Amino acid sequence: MSTAVVAYEAATLDERMRYANTIAAAGQMIPRGLFDPATGKPSPPKVLLVMETGSMLGLHPMAALQSINVVEGRATLAAQLMAGLIRQAGHRLEIVKAGTIPGGDYAVTVTLTRADTGDVYSATWDIPRGIRAGLVDSYEQNAQGVFVVRARSEKGKILPWEAYAESMPKWRAISEVALEGASDVTLGMRSYEEMTDGGIPIAEPDPEPTEDWKALFAAAKTRAELDEVGDRLKEKGEGTDALRAAFLARAGVLNREENTVDAEVVEEPSAGGDPSPSSPAEPTEADYEAAEAARFDAAVDAGEVRP
């Protein structure tokens, strides 16, 4: 175990939390899976979860950030990391590939042999098995007689089983034998590939904005102007939870301003001759945005939306 891991384990929880916040401040240097969809920024709690999981596995915190991810609130391991941990523990892991994707007979068999008991675990994955698991749409010959893998999202986006057809069977086979024969090494955690290639759906990355939508929201002087920006955002398909909160926050401010009836305010003197206490301050745009963020968090907790 490296000295860096020992130092991390010796730190107090408060020190670890401060470290997680410091790492999260790195912004785009943090893997996308550790971002908070509601804010569009790295999530310190996710970073802390990843580093704590890495500590249990004897990994340097920075190595953990590169090979551990958070899916649906659960820590997951990259299949490459699983293979490395299994071999580091002294067990034998053999990977055998046969055939080719274009030839229609590609398959990967992974065999795990325990060093302590001699028990053997084996798993074979191929494209037809991916089809049975609902991970691949089709695997058919084209006009030239070449087999082609097709795996697309509902929006037509190319999924990993099509983009990395040779690799996905290998990762799934490693995940399977790791779960069956080396759960003591991987702590029973599932692989990132297993959790994201169709086993459990996750949200697609936020689209790259073509305009500064938040600035346009802030510049809108009337609700009609704001709605016009909102319609343009919808047409371009670039909406995110963070933009939705910003839109609703600005809408709340504009609605209040447009519904306010101008009236002369006359301060009544109090019994003691002093002016009466001032009325509570009007809610600001930041107040509205905080309220929308709180409502979004409540919806996540209630299971109405997926983070």
91-145 per-position pLDDT tens digit = 999 999 999 999 999 999 999 999 999 999 999 999 999 999 999 999 999 999 9
Contact yes or no for 52/36 (Cβ under 8 A):
no
Higher-pLDDT residue of 279 and 210 is 210
Mean pLDDT of 14-33: 79
Tell me which of 306 and 4 has the higher pLDDT.
Answer: 4
How large a percentage of the chain has pLDDT more than 70? 77
How much is the average pLDDT of 264-268?
Answer: 49
d(CA 167, CA 306): 28
Cβ atoms of 154 and 128 closer than 8 Å: no
Sign of CA dihedral 165, 169, 174, 179: positive
Is the pLDDT confidence value at 200 over 70? no
Question: Checking phi first, is residue 146 left (phi over 0); if not, alpha (psi -120 to 50) or beta?
Answer: beta
Task: List the helix and strand counts (H, then E) for the chain.
Answer: 14, 9
Indicate yes or no: pTM above 0.85. no
User: Quick one: pLDDT at residue 282?
Assistant: 53
Please state, in angstroms and rounded to a whole number, the distance separating the CA atoms of residues 232 and 246: 15
Average pLDDT of the segment spanning 158-183: 93
Question: End-to-end distance of the chain based on CA atoms, in angstroms?
Answer: 34
| DSSP reduced 3-state for 60 | coil
Q: What is the mean pLDDT of the chain?
A: 80
Contact by Cβ (8 Å): 31, 66? yes
Q: What is the DSSP letter of 210?
A: S
With tokens 């809408």, the residue in question is 251
Provide the 10 A C-beta neighbour count for residue 156. 6
Tens digits of per-residue pLDDT, 73-97? 788 898 999 999 999 999 999 999 9
Residue 40: name the closest of 252, 307, 292 by CA. 307
- What pLDDT, in 10s, does the model give residues 55-70? 888 888 888 888 888 8
As given in the structure block, the two tokens for residue 203 are: 């949200």
Per-residue pLDDT of 273-290, as tens digits, reads 444 444 445 555 556 555
Share of the chain above pLDDT 90, in %: 36
Rounded to whole angstroms, how far apart are CA atoms 165 and 99?
13
What tokens were used for 173?
A: 């086979």
Residue 130, phi then psi, degrees to nearest 5? -60, -35
Average pLDDT over residues 231-256: 81
